[in-house]
Structure 1
Amino acid sequence: MVIRKKKIIIFFSLLFFVLFSCYAQKTKKQESLSHVIDVLQERFDVQFNYAEDTIDDFVIMPPLERLSLNEVLAYLETKTGLSFSIMNDRIVLVKPKKDSIFCGYIKDKSNLQPLVAATIQSTNHSTITDDNGFFQIEIENINTPITIRFLGYKTITKPLHEFSILKCEDIYLSSNVQSLAEVVISNYITGGINKLSDGSYEIDFSNFDILPGLIDDDVLQSVQAFPGIQSINESVSNINIRGGTHDQNLMLWDGIKMYQSGHFFGLISMYNPHITQTVFLRKNGSDVSYTDGVSGTIAMQTDKAINKEFDGLAEVNLTNINSFVDVPINKSSSIQIAARKSISDFVETPTYTAFFDRISQNTEVSSNASTITNSNETFDFYDTSFRWIYKISDTDEVRLNFINVHNQLQFNENATINNQFVSRESQLSQNSIAGALHYIREWNQDFNTELEIYETDYKLKAVNVNVLESQRYLQENIVSETSIKLKSNYKLNNTFKFLTGYHFVETEVTNLDDVDIPRFKNLVSEVLRTHGIFSQIDYKSLNRRTSLNVGLRYNYINKFKKSIWEPRLNFSHQFLEHFSFEVLGEYKHQNTSQVINFQNDFLGIEKRRWQLSNNQNIPVITSKQISTGINYNNNGWLVDIDWFYKVVKGVTTQSQGFQNQYEFVKSKGKYDVKGVDVLISKRLKKFNTWLSYSLMNNRYFFNELEADYFPSNFDVTQTFTMGTAYKLNKLKLSAGLNWHSGKPTTLPILGNEIINNEVNFGATNASNLEDYMRIDLSAIYDFKLGPHTKANIGISIWNLLDYENQINNFYRLNNEQVVETTQNSLGFTPNAVFRVYF
């Protein structure tokens, strides 16, 4: 362990050395505009007057000393696009040029042909290009963000001053190999969150603003801002999409299926926020190339563009240190590396303490037998991510991805036996390691193919000692999966596109239980191989108002000789200018699920283990889902309403986490859920405010347990969130309220709590815990450290009012009495960050 820690420290030291070295090599000649103005004031004995934020973002080459004042001012206007006017008393007034015109020609980078009807947007105006690719648009100031997009091409978004604004120059767009849906609603909740025409949602972290309680772009915390998505126990390892369990979510990182979600066993997303560029969330209507995830899909992607300049950052907050570099190798290749490690080895912060206390509640880490004491509790986590892109030629591209994630918890169990002090170590580790190869071939402008190969491995291991009995209990849960997918995209014309492909998946799951005294060992390893063939037709009307994707996927499971057909549908239509209507539907299946054999497995911290379907008592899980929605978007107002109905068959009682009379019962059944998701938001100048509401009815049916439907363990009937974000120059503020009705629970029968030395439970899930409520705050301030170095500081408070929210309870017999045990959510939890960009 010491060697590993030394290696991590050396890695971070080298990474920071690279950051500072590259920065030093890059900033030798250009100077900030403020420094240039200071020099000019001395040279010409004039006074420049300006608002500080007008010139903050400009870095230029200083003008030649031989130039006159008028020539210098003309030079500065050329380089910055600002207005420099000589006033009386030798005063030079600096200000943005108001109501100017920005113009240009949008062209295809590969063939230099004009792109007709490309969209150009500023803050308050928009236009499209004509037959020659020409456009012109009004602009308010030099810092106005300009977005240029055209279907099938990579979108450009950057401030106006990064374009040439003195004449109408050519602007080139690169074709996007992937077929991406168009944005229907931008700034869906806050900046950087968009709704797409295929019914999915996009989080673009390059344009992301801020959410309440978050100062990092935590992927799995951010997706919980959407209506219909929440975590019933505040854990990113237990995200519930429309009433489903976490194992029913397909988690993809650059196309790799991941079987682990979080650090701190669920309180922090394990996906480094700085290498994850974009997240696509799908509740329904999945692309036919996806399999698994009967409840939903969370697909994370790194940046797919080759970076031309060095970028990097270093960060420290109250739980970890983090660093990221994006290094160009040459014009055809670049590498991204990200690394993060907990700081608990060096200091225990209030945030760390709050997290540790939360995960160890009612486990062997926090409480043990009365004669046993625990000591030396330590927790450590780290993750590393890597992405390499190489553009072999104009038509061939290779991308490699790698991720390694590790969590480790250790503590000593101590007791005095026969007047001798005995201490033994228990530990729990959780690790994921995965890699992928993507090869993209663009045969021509209308046809391309993509090969995806990945290997993903997950391991959960626990060593639980019993010092009183001198016993050691070893548990392991291992998943190893290999996937090969070949896709082809063919564009028939401007209206129709076709997607076809083949997908092979081999999944092996191994479970080990090993006790030394008395000797017992049970090792079970199972393998499933699945073949999939899929095809899809995409239609987009010429006026871009109607979109239809219809597809079919055929799956064949070798071991069971089982065929599964899965139709998929998403349809959207814009009408009456500001309204749109959508219908989404899908059939899906999955072969893996998480089960709980005993509540104290794996020290009670991460008690779920993955298992494969056996087509008998553990069926293949299948789902059917349909949803329809309508939204209104105009003048900063957004109203989005979605109705949905979903049926999931093949679930087992072990996968649902019962802690009542069905805790040790093994049965299979189904659940259905119906409801409505509503989002209302208003953007007003610097403010963005949103309200979301979800109403849901989630029911189980297990024929061997009860004759009728009964409420699901995840039947949180009502969920309400309210948030606001404010952005002023370099300051971002956000506050939010989260409320939902209490989790279902099963109570003992009052007055007749015990029968046959067991708890006598009443009707299943007929009661609820108290309602949950939480208020969060966050703030981030950006500033400059130098001509090429930016920084920001941020603070956040989770659960500002320190509400004691019950997230779970269960009942046990103790000394012939029924005792209730409760688990609470995080209390008042602060966090802070300091981040430097190079």
Structure 2
Amino acid sequence: MTNSHNIRTIFLTLVLSLSFSIHAQVNDQGTKKLVIILQELQAQFNVQFNYAEDQVADVSVTTPPAYTSLSEIISYLEKNTALTFTRVDEKFILVKLRDELLLCGYLKDKDNLKPIVSATVQGDKSATITDENGFFQLRIRSLKEQISIRHIGYKTILRSYERFFKSDCGFIYMRSQAESLSQITISNYITSGIHKMTDGSFNINFKSFDMLPGMIENDVLQAVQAFPGIQSTNETVSNINIRGGTHDQNLLLWDGIKMYQSGHFFGLISMYNPQITQQVSLLKNGSDPSYTDGVSGTISMQTDKSLNQTLKASIGANFTDVNAFVDAPLGKKSSIQVAARKSLNDFVETPTYKAYFERIEENTEVEENQPNIINSDKTFDFYDASFRWLYKINDTNEIRLNAILVSNKLNFNETATIDMMEESRESSLTQNSFAAGLFYRNIWRDKFITTLEVYETDYRLKAINVNILDAQRFLQENSVSETSAKLQVEYLLNDKLTVLGGYHFVETEVTNLDDVDEPVFRFLVSEVVRTHGVFSQATYTSHDQNTYLKLGVRHNYIDKFKKHLTEPRFSFTQIVADKFTVEVLGELKHQNTSQIINFQNDFLGIEKRRWQLSNDQDIPVIKSQQVSTGISYNDHGWLASVEAYHKKVTGITSQSQGFQNQFEFTKSQGNYQVLGLGVLVRKKIANINTWISYSFMKNDYEFKELESARFPSNFDITHAFTSGITYTQKNLKVGLGFNWRFGKPITEPVLGNELINQEINFNTTNSSRLDDYMRLDLSAAYKIKISPKLKADVAFAVWNILDRENQIEQFFDVTDDRIDETTQFSLGMTPNVSFRLFF
């Protein structure tokens, strides 16, 4: 009995254990974590579920039957859980507790409809931030709970929960603060990423920038030359002429810091690293009264102002340099950007590098070999490094720190045989810039904004020129040191009207040195000018955004000269029938610095211009008056724009204009007047964008001490014509561009009577011209996706693909009773290739 009983007991236990085991296996196989189900549905139906993790983490549900549609599965899940599933749009589905109040939405910029990332959405007891799509969701306790939505630079939204939509997650639009009054009037003005603003300025956004033919990378100072009325008569970015002015009359700003140097290779490429420079504002007229200097125009470059939350990096190389860029977060409130470039010639001398070097040494002391003297061991090197640190203390306070370091260095040896002994000495030329700036911004009560900008900028040009036969060393230096502090206050009265005011202090010191060791000679001059400026402005935008009016005035006091200057500025834009835009701009400006040429062989004849300060006597304060008006038509991919302008600049000196004729060594004061017209026609069809621009300019000097009558300016390019076509298809971009213009004015000797008393007998000033300039450029770029986290860009460009010899300068000298004619030419066919990896 006992054995039989034991056997039955064991058998029953095994059966019960097996049944429990089988039952448990069924339960395990029949239920799943809701999180896993949602992940599977996301992959199967290409949707995104948004939910609070703590609400679904412990929820399990019996595996849904094999339904064929997503709606059937969602209905099943709602019946078997305490959750609701709300379809926000085709892709996003919101998951929440059935009886919970939840606010969700997509935050967007009212002006450009882009998502606003990292905005703070806060209730009484909870808070969140928007994601990369601008999406957020926030738990709410009651219908009356107050919700605030804040992001620096935008007007804060403050309202109760019941005033928001509750049925779904809609769009919430935020309006920027004072900046909202300046809108885009014409998008993709020449090509994608170039926009015309309501204040008359142009904005180049390199994040969405398409392509300009001939450019291998986003060279800032090459890009601005695509606009009508802006050219470089010698193809360098250190000689950009805006509406007939000289390069020193341009205000160059890098994140608000004034720069006195613009290029590498002494002007052949921009010194501003394209990886860190994200936007450019071009103002030819009607600038804000907060700006000083720049009587011809302003080129304001900006780094990215957004706070990065993920690590981004890239490395690249082209035929001139190797470069790297890093954008790294420092917690949730701070990020840094670092960019650096170094010339490639330490590793290899590419055809592009050789072409650039030959171009800068042409007709200089680097190239010229006197009898019995050999110039050898020529080396050139450049580098730059840029830094930006951004710290958003909170939603209303922001600090930004910028720094930039730039260097160009040229060395060569002069060798000669003296007294049967070979001797060699080194000549050199260095050009350096260092600048740093601090920016602080605070938003008080949403409508009141204060900004403080402080910077220090330093520039130095140094040349050592040896004369080995005479055992002489000639040292030349030109340096600029400038300190600036600007405090600005903005107040947004309402959605239509903004007023601002501020104070601006600038101290500029310029030092020039000429030092000869044999015979001993030393000439050192250091001068300082301090300027105090107060400014105010009112900006009005109508409710329908069709009318824009900006009125401003700046009053300056130059303490050294006890001089007061009042400068009104205005900008008016009217949009008619959504297709036509009419604008009128005007301004008065002044500047205290200019560049002069004392001798054509100064600084080895390469960078022969030196900065100087006005002294209010033989070097007066430069002043400008300018007015322009234009009309544009924009509809169905067509853009047609016509703009006429008149500009007068007084207080210029003959030394600042680069004369190489009978006035080369003459010191005189004068002015120039420009009457001009710019025309642009652009058409976009699907993936093809094409444009044609024409510029007419009558630019005349008036130097009463030189000639009684007015005569053409050295920068009088009467007619200029450019056209381009770009094609974009997925990852491929191709562009072809054509440039043609009148030749530069020159002064030739009188034919048949060229010499009188061993001096050149020049004809009427600037009565002749060089041959017409013509250039055809090609660019192509392709994006490659190597992996989800690794991408690459490959680009190819050819400058002057027809290899045309374009004359850019011509001058005459007397040697042994005869006239020597020297002609300088532009770059020939110059290819370039770049490759960049993005991490």
TM-score by length of 2: 0.83
Encode CA deviations 1:583-603: one digit per residue, 9 max, x unaligned.
000000000000000000000
Moved more, 171-180 or 754-763: 171-180
Structure 1 equivalent of residue 498 of structure 2: 497
- For each residue in 1:642-684, what CA deviation from the matched residue of structure 2 results, as whole angstroms up to 9, or x when unmatched? 1000000000000000000000000000000011011100011
SS at match of 2:728: strand
Aligned partners of 1:683, 1:559: CA distance in 2, in Å?
Answer: 54
SS at match of 1:265: helix
| Aligned-residue offset at 1:104 | 12
The alpha carbon displacement at 1:245 in A equals: 0.1
Distance in 2, matches of 1:601 and 1:688, equals: 45
Q: For 2:357, what is the secondary structure of its paired residue?
A: helix
1:118 aligns with 2:105: no
Aligned to 1:92: none
Q: Does 1:334 align with 2:326?
A: no
Q: 1:76 aligns with which of 46, 71, 75?
A: 46
Equivalent residues of 1:625, 1:646 under 8 A apart: yes
Q: 1:151 to 1:576 in 2, by over 3 A?
A: farther
Q: Does 1:212 align with 2:204?
A: no
CA contact (8 A) 2:105 2:171 kept: no
- Alignment check: 8 A CA contact 2:441 2:452 kept: yes
Whole-angstrom CA distance in 1 between matches of 2:68 and 2:836: 39
Counterpart CA distance in 2 for 1:683 and 1:153 is 33
SS at the partner of 1:315? strand
Alignment of 1:128-139 (within 5 A): none
Aligned to 2:372: 371
- Identity among equivalent positions (%) equals 58
Does residue 237 of structure 1 match 2:229?
A: no
What do the CA deviations read for 1:521-556 (whole angstroms, capped 9, x no partner)?
Answer: 000000000000000010101110000000110000
Q: Is the 8 A contact 1:580 1:630 kept in 2?
A: yes
Deviation at 1:215, TM superposition (A): 1.7
CA distance in 2, matches of 1:179, 1:557: 34
Distance 1:718 1:71 in 2: 64
Q: One-letter code of the match for 1:204?
A: N
In the TM superposition, 1:534-573 aligns within 5 A as 534-573=535-574
- SS of match in other structure, 2:346: coil
Q: 1:495 Cα shift?
A: 1.1
1:295 and 2:290 correspond: no
Question: Structure 2: how far apart are the matches of 1:416 and 1:737?
Answer: 50
State the number of aligned residues.
721
- 1:420, distance to aligned residue in structure 2 (A): 1.0
Q: In 2 relative to 1, CA 114–491 (structure 1 residues): closer, same or farther, beyond 3 Å?
A: farther
Partner residue in 2 for 1:457 = 458
Q: What one-letter code is carried by the residue in structure 1 that aligns with 2:110?
A: A
1:809 aligns with 2:801: no
Provide closer, same or farther for how the CA distance between residues 270 and 180 of structure 1 changes in structure 2, counting only shifts above 3 A. farther
Aligned to 1:781: 782
TM-fit CA distance, 1:169: 5.0
Residue in 1 aligned with 2:735? Answer: 734
Bigger CA drift: 306-315 or 426-435? 306-315
- 1:33-432 equivalences in 2 (<5 Å): 71=41, 73-78=43-48, 118=110, 153=154, 168-169=169-170, 173=174, 175=176, 178=179, 181-432=182-433
Structure 2: unaligned runs, 5 residues or longer: 1-32, 51-66, 70-88, 95-102, 115-132, 136-150, 156-166
Asked if the contact 1:427–1:463 (Cα under 8 Å) also holds between the matched residues in 2, the reply is yes
Q: Is the 8 A contact 1:594 1:655 kept in 2?
A: yes
2:352 is paired with a residue whose SS is helix
Q: 1:585 to 1:273 in 2, by over 3 A?
A: same
Alpha carbons 1:579, 1:631 under 8 Å: kept: yes
Partner-residue secondary structure (3-state), 1:666: coil
Cα distance per residue 1:147-196 (max 9 Å; x no partner): xxx99749xxxxxxxxxxx9745567584575662000111111110000
Does the 8 Å contact 1:475/1:602 carry over to 2?
Answer: yes
Q: Deviations over 1:25-60 (max 9, x none)?
A: xxxxxxxxxxxxxxxxxxxxxxxxxxxxxxxxxxxx
8 Å contact from structure 1 (residues 462, 475) kept in 2:
yes
Which residue pairs with 2:630 in the alignment?
629
Match status 1:638 vs 2:639: yes
Cα deviation code 1:69-120 (max 9, x no counterpart): 984653534489xxxx999xxxxxxxxxxxx979999xxxxx9999999356
SS in structure 2 of the partner of residue 589 of structure 1 = strand
Whole-angstrom distance in 2 between the partners of 1:121 and 1:538: 23
The answer on whether the counterparts of 1:236 and 1:267 sit within 8 Å (CA) in structure 2 is yes
Mark the CA change 1:120 to 1:497 in structure 2 (over 3 Å): closer, same or farther: closer
CA contact (8 A) 2:106 2:171 kept: no
Q: Contact 2:345–2:353 (CA<8 Å) still a contact in 1?
A: yes
The verdict on how the C-alpha distance between 1:820 and 1:116 changes in structure 2, with shifts beyond 3 A counting, is closer
Contact 2:108 2:174 in 1 (8 A): no
Separation in 2, partners of 1:312, 1:116: 27
Q: Return the offset for 1:576.
A: 2.1
- Does structure 1 conserve the Cα–Cα contact (< 8 Å) formed by 2:109 and 2:173? no
Q: How does 1:11-30 map to 2 (within 5 A)?
A: none
More deviation, 519-528/813-822: 813-822
Q: 1:68 to 1:704 in 2, by over 3 A?
A: closer
Structure 2 counterpart of 1:618:
619
Q: 1:741, 1:771 within 8 Å by CA — same for their partners in 2?
A: yes
1:575 aligns with 2:576: yes
Structure 1: unaligned runs, 5 residues or longer: 1-62, 88-99, 106-110, 123-143, 155-165
Secondary structure at the counterpart of residue 499 of structure 1: strand
Q: How far did 1:418 drift?
A: 1.3
- Residues 607-756 of structure 1 aligned to structure 2 (within 5 Å): 607-756=608-757
Give the secondary-structure state (helix, strand or coil) at the position aligned to 2:625: strand
Q: Secondary structure at the match of 1:292?
A: coil
**In the alignment, which residue of structure 1 is the partner of 2:441?**
440
**Partner Cα distance (1:116, 1:735) in 2:** 36
Contact kept, 8 Å, 1:646 with 1:672, in 2: the verdict is: yes
CA distance in 2, matches of 1:536, 1:169: 37
> What's the CA shift for 1:746?
0.3
State the distance in 1 between where 2:812 and 2:263 align.
28
1:103–1:168 CA contact under 8 A, matched in 2: no
Contact 1:102 1:168 in 2 (8 A): no
Q: Secondary structure at the match of 1:654?
A: helix
Note closer, same or farther for the CA distance 1:299–1:812 as it changes in structure 2 (3 Å cut).
same
Equivalent position amino acid for 2:300 in 1: A
In terms of mean alpha carbon deviation, does 303-312 or 562-571 score higher?
Answer: 303-312
Secondary structure at the aligned position of 2:222 is classed as helix
Residues 809 and 449 (structure 1 numbering): CA distance in 2 closer, same or farther, change over 3 Å?
A: same
Distance 1:470 1:387, change over 3 A: same
Q: Distance in 2 between matches of 1:69 and 1:564?
A: 68
Provide the residue aligned with 1:517 in structure 2: 518
Structure 1 residues 816 and 103, CA gap change in structure 2 (3 angstroms): farther
Whole-angstrom distance in 2 between the partners of 1:120 and 1:395: 22
Deviations 1:392-423 (A, max 9, x none): 22221111000000000000011111111111
Greater Rg over alpha carbons, structure: 2
What is the distance in 2 between the residues matched to 1:333 and 1:623? Answer: 42
Measured on the aligned residues, the alpha-carbon RMSD in Å equals 2.8
d(CA) in 2 for partners of 1:750 and 1:729? 59
Answer whether contact 2:47 2:93 (CA < 8 A) is retained. Answer: no
Q: Secondary structure at the match of 1:207?
A: coil
CA pair 646-68 structure 1, distance change in 2 beyond 3 A: closer
Residue aligned with 1:344, SS: helix
CA distance in 2 between partners of 1:485 and 1:343 (Å): 39
Q: Alignment partner of 1:286: what SS?
A: coil
Task: Indicate the residue corresponding to 1:474 in structure 2.
Answer: 475
Name the structure 1 match of 2:24: none
